[in-house]
Structure 1
Amino acid sequence: MVLVQALSYTALAVVAGLVGGVIAVYSPPSPQMESNIQHFAAGVVTAAVTAELLPDVHGRAPQIVVLGFAIGVATMLGIHRLSKIIDKRDIGGQYASASGLLIIVGIDMTIDGVLIGVSFLDNPDTGVIIAAALAIEVLFLGVAGVVALPREMSMARKLAVPAVFGLLLASGVTVSVLALGGVTGAPIAVILAFGSAALLYLVTEELLVKAGKVPETPVSTTLFFVGFLAIFLLDMLH
């Protein structure tokens, strides 16, 4: 059953998020280490898009691809705008400094879940690669979400954040598989194109931009290509 298979691989990302949360609670990474992780995650996600998603949408009708990409870019720009509004209005009371990030990451987790589910519906092999790639992203987001929380917050509440991220990811997978099971053609192509644009936005406007706040080092640059090569080889061997 596609849903069981999709959720079993999504569990990797859920566990990765929890591991990231535990790391952030007990041993918060240095800015340089965060930059290294971001470079590696950017390479992984870029490889997943170029090796898996883009070939799947390449043969579709151009108007379908353009529509999917346009919706993806517009959605990500809207999410970015929403985060600015939340930060500006101090929504979240005593957790205002973290609320914008947590809400945006929650939305991103749901979108990622939908993309994993649709990828499994379209091609299970693609779904496996996308789930593995996004597990690296979720590891970083688990760290970032916990680090953003107030220090005085209890450990249990901090770890609840990556747990909720995992729940949203699994929910996105479940809803997409149940709602789109048996659907083929244009709707699937639009979602895959949407996902490609969303992930490319994540790499260029989030991961690499934030990583760039720390001076580049040969190690961080190399890790981008290590991440890319790891997923590319996984795709070749799968």
Structure 2
Amino acid sequence: MVGTLTQALSYTMLAVVAALVGGIIAVYRTPGPQMESNVQHFAAGVVFAAVAAELLPDVHTRAPIVVVIGFAIGVATMLGIHRLSKYVEKRDIGGKMADAAGLLITVGIDMLIDGVLIGVTFLAEAATGVLIAVALAIEVLFLGATGVIALPEETSTVKKLAVPAGFGILLLTGVITGVLVFDGVTGTPIALVLAFGSAALLYLVTEELLVKAQEVPETPTSTTLFFVGFLLIFLIDMLH
């Protein structure tokens, strides 16, 4: 278990660093709407490919009823998180931070879930864990920047950078939890987690990344970047 945990944490550090890099870029050089859209398209393609190439084939071999239950729980959880974020925004919880609170809560919980998924995939198949960790690192690069951009302009640099750092800590916490809780576990529990994780990531792509990416006019470049991201991860999986 120690070896698996060390390996999982090592690759997850890529995502932690990516979150900090995204936050630093957002602090000192905020990307424009079109650049954000381009990054969102690329990240969506990367995450979609990771799910299609690694998670779904593993899920496909499991008992149908287990897969249905796992997917249903995953979708319900993500919808619940979305509703919670809207409630926070509507109730103006957090004062000046109210506008950012909903987003930060959503991303924070998502980081924890993604961390657990990384930990479980490393237990099931190290190669799958590596690919998922790399794909999520690209996703987290964008999320780190998004968390900083959402904060009020008068927020200090230290507090701004604390946001992506917090995302990284939650991701690492999820990995540790996933490995410790599911070490030695096989069968139905692993199938449930993989199906749950697949649904959560597909929700992230379709209802978060691509929806936000459409807030600016679509361009050939942004569309192409989605397929570049998809093909990149797909080729890495083929050559692995």
For the aligned pair, the TM-score class normalised by the smaller chain equals over 0.9
TM-score (norm 1): 0.99
Q: CA deviation at 1:66?
A: 0.3
Residue 193 of structure 1 pairs with residue 195 of structure 2: yes
2:81 is aligned with 1:79? yes
Aligned counterpart, 1:169: 171
Equivalence for 2:117: 115
1:237 — aligned with what? 239
SS in structure 2 of the partner of residue 179 of structure 1: helix
- Partner amino acid for 2:77? T
Q: Percent identity?
A: 76
- Quote the residue 2:63 is aligned against: 61
Equivalent in the alignment of 2:135: 133
Misfit runs of 4+, over 3 Å: none
Give the Å deviation of 1:153: 1.1
- The aligned amino acid for 2:105 is I
Counterpart CA distance in 1 for 2:172 and 2:231 is 27
Q: Displacement of 1:236 after TM fit?
A: 1.0
Match of 1:203 in 2: 205
Q: Give the whole-Å Cα distance in 2 for the aligned partners of 1:162 and 1:137.
A: 12
Q: Equivalent residue of 1:128, what SS?
A: helix
Displacement after TM superposition at 1:177 (Å): 0.2
Q: Paired residue for 2:93?
A: 91
Q: Deviations over 1:167-210 (max 9, x none)?
A: 00000000110111000010001000000000000111110010
For 1:212 and 1:186, locate their aligned partners in 2 and report how far apart those are by CA, in whole Å: 38
Alpha-carbon distance, 1:137 to partner: 0.8
* Structure 1 unpaired stretches of 5+: none
**Which letter maps to 1:60?**
R
CA deviation vs aligned residue, 1:12-62 (integer Å, no higher than 9, x gap):
000000000000000000000000000000000000000000000101100
Unaligned stretches of 5+ in structure 2?
none
Q: Partners in 2 of 1:27 and 1:175 — Cα distance? A: 35
AA aligned opposite 2:148: V
> What is the distance in 2 between the residues matched to 1:144 and 1:53?
26
Separation of aligned partners in 1, 2:165 and 2:87: 25
* Superposition CA RMSD, Å: 0.5
Give, in angstroms, the shift of residue 93 of structure 1. Answer: 1.6
* One-letter amino acid of the counterpart of residue 182, structure 1: G
Equivalent of 2:156, from 133, 154, 157? 154
Match of 2:230 among 224, 228, 231: 228
